[in-house]
Amino acid sequence: MPDSLQVNLGQRSYPIRFGDDLSEELGSRLGALREEGRKLVIVTDETIVTAQSEVLAKIAGAAAICPVPAGETAKSAIRLGMVWDFLAAQKMDRGGVVIAFGGGVVGDLAGFAAASYLRGVDFIQVPTTLLAMVDSSVGGKTGINLGAGKNLVGAFHQPREVFVATRLLHTLPAREFAAGMAEVIKYGLLGDAKLFEQLEATPLTVDSPELAAVVRRCCVAKAEIVEADEFETAATDGRALLNLGHTFGHAIEKVAGYSVYLHGEAVAIGLVAAARLSVALGLIGAEVVGRVEVVLSAHDLPIRLREPISQEALLTAMSSDKKVRAGRLRFVVMEAIGRAVTREEIDSEVVSAVWSEVGAS
């Protein structure tokens, strides 16, 4: 039996199952659902259809496969409508189950389709990227992007199960693995100093013997935060802490165009910006920024914008971020490595100075 971790959310509780190769367990689970007469649809992306063809063949059975284009641009209203139409064409009823087999984009898109089709059907997360394994597949945030900003439309819809099979990472391009490491490093910065120190001492790779343990460690951290603040309603801190680096990162993604930076690459620059903002607020010393930059660089992640981007455009993008409350943008900053807090009412000139430090014009 695979190792498992329970996310405790009352009636919405579910297990995260961990293992090297879970295709047999997943295939048995989907087979049992089919025997119950439940319609199954696997949403994946076109790259994964090729890269994980053997695993798909093992688990799919009679399930219909709905491929979407790879990349962040698939998180759109047009693509969401196409997934809805696919579910309708398969005659999925309220007993149906959507299986999200892919990275964060597939999970967000398929999860939102499941949350909204027939006002909600069950779904199962099978993350195939490091970023999805340690972060986006857990916690029930689903959604799509709008022209005005990232993840502005969505729903909280918890999966019924999550299957984390680390063998899937061996077909992941190196750039995608590195992007996932931004989220791993984030967990170290916001609440796990020992994890950060471990990554400082020895950069994590897809062949590292400790990879599975690190993935599980991040999922434990995510589960604890979600259990305490499932719908991100805490007045301070809470689930919002998971947005460390993301207020800056989402602005970079939007302004640069979603095909220029991978999500994790934008978050990496955002983590540097958040550290620099923390210095500007007098919360940490400048040496912490250096440590953050060294760890990110060691994991092949950017620490500055590759090309200058307009500060004005970035600040405008920030103003439409979903973390704005009562007209005030909430930032996540660090009081130390391993301890983060939320702050509001930060002077825009301070934020502009930080953007300049990471290469904005």
Reported as a pLDDT band with limits 50, 70 and 90, residue 320 is confident
Cα 284 to the center of its chain, rounded Å: 27
Active site residue 222: yes
Please give the pLDDT value at position 117. Answer: 98
Active site residue 243: yes
Of 140, 171, 202, the residue at which a domain comes to its end is: 171
CA–CA separation, 109 and 95 (whole Å) = 19
Please give the pLDDT value at position 129. Answer: 98
Of 171, 206, 222, the residue at which a domain comes to its end is: 171
Please give the pLDDT value at position 326. Answer: 63
Active site residue 141: yes
CB neighbours of residue 53 within 10 Å:
10
CA–CA separation, 55 and 361 (whole Å) = 46
Please give the pLDDT value at position 329. Answer: 86
Give yes or no for residue 322 having a pLDDT over 80: no
Distances in whole angstroms, Cα of residue 72 to Cα of each of 127, 151, 259, 280? 15, 11, 7, 32
Considering 222, 254, 299, 323, which one is annotated as catalytic?
222
Q: Are residues 290 and 193 in the same domain?
A: yes
Considering 161, 176, 183, 253, which one is annotated as catalytic?
183
Range of weakest confidence among 56-65, 100-109, 180-189: 56-65
Q: Are residues 182 and 152 in the same domain?
A: no
Number of domains in the chain: 2
Segment 231-238 mean pLDDT? 92
pLDDT top residue among 18 and 344 = 18
Q: Are residues 68 and 166 in the same domain?
A: yes
CA–CA separation, 315 and 305 (whole Å) = 15
Q: Are residues 184 and 96 in the same domain?
A: no
Q: Are residues 246 and 306 in the same domain?
A: yes
Please give the pLDDT value at position 1. Answer: 60
CA–CA separation, 176 and 275 (whole Å) = 23
Please give the pLDDT value at position 2. Answer: 74
Segment 33-53 mean pLDDT? 96
Considering 35, 36, 91, 119, which one is annotated as catalytic?
119
Active site residue 239: yes
CA–CA separation, 64 and 359 (whole Å) = 46
Please give the pLDDT value at position 213. Answer: 98
Task: Render pLDDT for 127-138 as a digit per residue (tens, 0 to 9).
Answer: 999 999 999 999
Segment 313-323 mean pLDDT? 86
Q: Are residues 13 and 84 in the same domain?
A: yes
CATH of the domain at 163: 3.40.50.1970
Active site residue 119: yes
pLDDT top residue among 236 and 92 = 92
Q: Are residues 122 and 204 in the same domain?
A: no
CA–CA separation, 82 and 68 (whole Å) = 9
Considering 217, 246, 254, 276, which one is annotated as catalytic?
246
Active site residue 232: yes
Q: Are residues 105 and 138 in the same domain?
A: yes
Give yes or no for residue 262 having a pLDDT over 90: yes
CA–CA separation, 93 and 84 (whole Å) = 12
Considering 239, 254, 276, 299, which one is annotated as catalytic?
239
* pTM for this predicted structure: 0.96
Of 115, 150, 171, the residue at which a domain comes to its end is: 171
Q: Are residues 101 and 235 in the same domain?
A: no
Give yes or no for residue 321 having a pLDDT over 90: no
Considering 250, 254, 323, 330, which one is annotated as catalytic?
250
Task: Render pLDDT for 157-191 as a digit per residue (tens, 0 to 9).
Answer: 999 999 999 999 999 999 999 999 999 999 999 99
Q: Are residues 64 and 189 in the same domain?
A: no
Considering 243, 254, 323, 330, which one is annotated as catalytic?
243
Active site residue 246: yes
Segment 40-60 mean pLDDT? 95
Give yes or no for residue 8 having a pLDDT over 70: yes
Q: Are residues 137 and 198 in the same domain?
A: no
Q: Are residues 88 and 213 in the same domain?
A: no
Reference 122, options 80, 162, 159, 85; nearest CA is 159
CATH of the domain at 226: 1.20.1090.10
Segment 130-154 mean pLDDT? 96
Considering 29, 141, 186, 299, which one is annotated as catalytic?
141
Considering 72, 161, 176, 232, which one is annotated as catalytic?
232
Q: Return the percentage of the chain with pLDDT > 90, whole number.
A: 93
Whole-number mean pLDDT of the chain?
A: 96
For residue 15, what are the domain limits?
Answer: 3-171
Reported as a pLDDT band with limits 50, 70 and 90, residue 259 is confident
